Amino acid sequence: MLLKQQAQQESAAKGAKARKPGVYANRDPALNWKDVAWFCSNTTIPIVLKGVQCGEDAVLAAKAGVAAILVSNHGGRNMDTARSSIEALPEIISMLTEAGLRSKLEVWLDGGIRRGSDVVKALALGANACGIGKPAMYGMSCYGAAGITKCVEILKREMVQTMQLCGTPRFDLLSPSLV
């Protein structure tokens, strides 16, 4: 109890705002783009910034020097008005391209990827890679490690089939016009 009081007093003395308990209780509300740039310039580890949902933030991330952004809404589709990651992707790619920064970082996407056709759609819209969550978890929960392997095999087969139906033999030939 004494340590907690001391920590609270030190925090108050530094002018820190009180934080409410919850998901973001440990997030510093003062974190900003200068901090992101500082992290990038003070490490050789590539920085991947998760949770980018708009083109403006993607441009700021590229200017800050991150290696990649992860277009993700942290389960935000459970809220009434949050847009999906795939809906945010075209704006992000467009604004990065207009700013001449598209080649400065990779754009990854997660959230809502359930089938191989979802992966192909994201790649066609400009993503470099996709994160797969629920399909892999479902496979693992039913069949363990073999279920994850089966999930990847199914996704790969669906991706190949989708690309064949689009008449596109290679990933680098995918384009937004196919979506």
pLDDT at 73: 82
Of 63, 74, 77, 104, which residue is the catalytic one? 74
pLDDT at 21: 58
**Number of CB atoms found within 10 A of residue 153's CB:** 11
Identify the band that residue 83 occupies on the pLDDT scale cut at 50, 70 and 90: confident
Instruction: Check if 74 is active-site.
Output: yes
Region for 22 from its dihedrals, namely left if φ exceeds 0, alpha if ψ lies in -120 to 50, beta otherwise: left
Quote the Cα angle for 160-162-168, to 5°.
80
Instruction: Give the predicted TM-score (pTM) of the model.
Output: 0.80
Distance CA 87, CA 76 (A): 13
Distance CA 19, CA 29 (A): 9
pLDDT at 40: 96
**Number of CB atoms found within 10 A of residue 90's CB:** 14
Domain map of the chain by residue range?
31-131
For the domain spanning 31-131, the CATH number is 3.20.20.70
Q: Which residue has the tokens 């009434």?
A: 80
pLDDT for 26-55, tens place per residue?
Answer: 667 778 999 999 999 999 999 999 999 999
Task: Give 83-115 as a 3 state SS string.
Answer: CCHHHHHHHHHHHHHHCCCHHHCEEEEECCCCC
pLDDT for 117-132, tens place per residue?
Answer: 999 999 999 999 999 9
Identify the band that residue 82 occupies on the pLDDT scale cut at 50, 70 and 90: confident
Smallest Cα–Cα separation from 176: which of 103, 92, 61? 92
